[in-house]
Structures are given as structure tokens and as C-alpha cells.
Amino acid sequence: MPLKILGLNHNTAPVEIREQVVFAGDQIPGALQAVRDIHGVEEAVLLSTCNRTEFYVMADHDGRRRLQEWLHDAHNLDPSFANTLFELDDDAALRHIFRVACGLDSMVLGEPQILGQLKDAFRDAEGAGTVGKQLSRLFQHTFSVAKKVRTDTEIGTSPVSVAYAAVTLAQQFFSDFRKHTALLVGAGVTIELVAKHLKRKEIGRLFVANRNIARAHDLANQFGGFGLALSDLEGTLPEADILISSTASPTAVVTLPQMEAAIKARRRKPIFAVDIAVPRDIEAGISKLDDVYLYTIDDLNKVVLEGQGNREAAARDANRILDEEISRYLSMERAKQVAPLITALRENANSVRGEILKQAQKRLAKGADGQEVLEYATAALMKKMLHNPSVKLREAGENSDAEIIAAARALFGLEEE
């Protein structure tokens, strides 16, 4: 079956839509099994991040249509949701997955985190038993392409991460971080990068809140900060001039009443907030408060675009590599399609050879002349091997089938007279 991709990402859907179709943790194996059970779908991998939810499947056209229906029904989505989906087939699908792996389709051009997420998605699918030979070959080649692009181009230099963009945006509000306090919610890779950038900017005080208090302490200690439990968030919120959140929580961790209380305690001293999570960590209504400047991950796009201009040349080099790798992969796949035919051809030839060999050995055993047996064996072998091609060529000649005749010339290396 052919490769097909169905999904939505930061290019096709805003965060308000993307957060409705996020799959995380224990949801992933069940979702993969449900997709694999769809009639017309043979293999499936699911990639779900803050910027994209994409299904990579080996499926027929009806299988992809049923996948879209399942996605809509499983989340009780509005019919307009379909307008944010994109569908890709064959070569276009292949180019897309290569671009995703290399960071060429990311909000942050060339960012390396997506490759790790794609590898995790592949491992999840392997664990769920929804990967077969075709997707396995595809993903292994994809990882190889991503490595080649990062080795042979400068796509990964001068990194402009979402974390960096968030801190850069905060600098537009607070020129001297030494006088201010930052509260980070979460303890994953993104929050760790945010903490690192804030430390370099000499942030005055740093708090890290996380559901796992031990992880919060470990991360905070790396940067001279203070760790606290998520349950202590409300009490610390009034201290925060900068609030940056990135958790995997399915519901908001900072609510409107909590923020209203914090603003009151701060005597209307403003708070700069960035919600990097999808689904969102900071309740959307908070953006309407006069003293809170709330940005989502989509709002960081402008900052990111301003900082990645020096990667554009590297991206052009990367795309040239992708052109070569797409052609190479397609050639490999087409070669695999005829591999069974080549095997069958060899097995048939070997069977004919064995048959003639037995007859030749019988003649020798009866005392026939060796030279005579050689003449017999080679002539018989030639006759057997050329019988079917000769019959088909005569039929092609009678039917003026130029295509078969040309194919025969090419197969047997015969020049046209």
C-alpha cells in the first residue's frame, strides 16, 4: 500500500484547534491500535507534539478517508475542523516526513528536538505493533537523511529555539532581568532551556513548579533557583514578573481566578506570560486581564522568524539533499517491488538447469562422449530458456506490440539493427 499522511500542524491550524487533537502518554498506544484497526490501513505511526499531530500510514484512499472520520468522531470535533487538515500522498508525503525530521517544517527552522520526537513516535508504534516492513524501512531511511542533513549543512547552527524566543520576547518588557522574578511551570526539555537562557540573562530569582517535586528541585538547583510543587503554584504566582509554562497537562494549570488573585496581590504590577504548552496551560480568559501580557506558542512565531534568517541558505542546501534522498529512496522501493520477480526468474532458471544437468549426467553414465554431452546440454538449456520469450516475441510481432519488443531488446541487451 502507498504512504499517506493525514494531520494538522502550526502551518494549517492555530493552537486553539491543535490542542483539541493532542495524543499523549497512555493515549498513544490505544490511538495507534484504533487506527490500525481501520479497514484499509496496514501500518501507522502517530506524531503528536505542541506544533503538530500527524498520522503516517500505509493505506489506500478509503483507509485515509476513514482515518479522518475516526479522528473527527473520536474528539467530537466541529465539521470545520476538516479545513485545518492536510493530506499528502506518495512523493509529497515522503518529502514531508523528511522535512519534518530535518527540522525544515518546524516553527523553529532546523530545531533538533523534532527528530527525537519522531524517533519516540516510531518506538511507540513499534511497541503498539502498528509498524510493518514498509514504515520500518521508511523511518530508518528518514533518520539517516536527518543525520546527513545535519552533518552536511549548517541547518543546526545559531539555534533559535522556542525557549530562546520566549526569553527574547520577555526582554522587550523587562530590560534588566536582575530586578525580576521568573516562575517556570513544568520540568521538561523546553523549560530547562528557558531556565538556561534566563540564567544567562542573570534573572534575579527563579522558581520551578512541577507535579514531581523532586524533578522541580533538581532542575531549579542547576540554575540557582527554588523548586516547588504544582500545588504551591497559587501562593508563588504573585511573586512572578515572568511566567512561562510548558507541561503535558490535559487541562489548564493556571486558572483565571488564580491570576486575578495574583494581580490583586501585586497591586496591578504587570505579569509577562508565555504558554508554550499544547493543550494550553494558562487559561485563555487570562489574556483579557489588563495587567497580564499573555502569549501562546503561535505568538512566538514572529520572534522565531526574525532570528532564523541566517539558516535560510542552509535550508536551501538541505532541500537539495532531500531531492537526492527522495530519488534514492524511491529507486530502492521500486527495486524492491521487482525483487520477487527476479527471485522467481532465478528459481525457474535454476530448475531448468537442474533438469538438463540430470539428463546430461545420465548420458555420461551410459558412456556418451563428453563433447557430445556438452553440445546437448548447452543446446537444450538454450532452447528451454528461450522458448517462452520467443513465443511472446512472435505474438508481439503479430500484434505490432512495440512496447514488448522494445522491452525485450532492453532486457537482453540487443541493439536494434
Cite the active site residues. 50
| Residue 298 DSSP one-character state | G
Please give the C-alpha separations between residue 405 and each of 46, 202, 312, 417, in angstroms, as whole numbers.
Answer: 47, 77, 50, 13
At residue 264, φ and ψ (nearest 5 deg) are -60, -45
- State the CB neighbour count (10 A cutoff) for residue 289: 18
d(CA 209, CA 231): 9
Number of other residues whose CB lies within 10 A of the CB of residue 380: 15
CB 112 within 8 A of CB 151: no
The candidate with the shortest Cα–Cα distance to 299, out of 129, 169, 109, is 169
Grid cell for residue 169: 520576547
What cell does 337 get? Answer: 517491488
CA end-to-end span of the chain, whole Å?
Answer: 41
Beta strands in 270-378 (DSSP E): 271-275, 292-296
- What are the cell numbers at 263? 494581580
Task: Calculate the CA 155 to chain-centre distance.
Answer: 17
Q: Are 272 and 241 in contact (CB under 8 A)?
A: yes
User: Can you read off the three cell numbers belonging to residue 182?
Assistant: 521568573
Separation of alpha carbons 371 and 357, rounded Å? 14
Q: For the chain, what percentages of helix, strand and coil (3-state, to nearest 5) are there?
A: 60, 15, 25
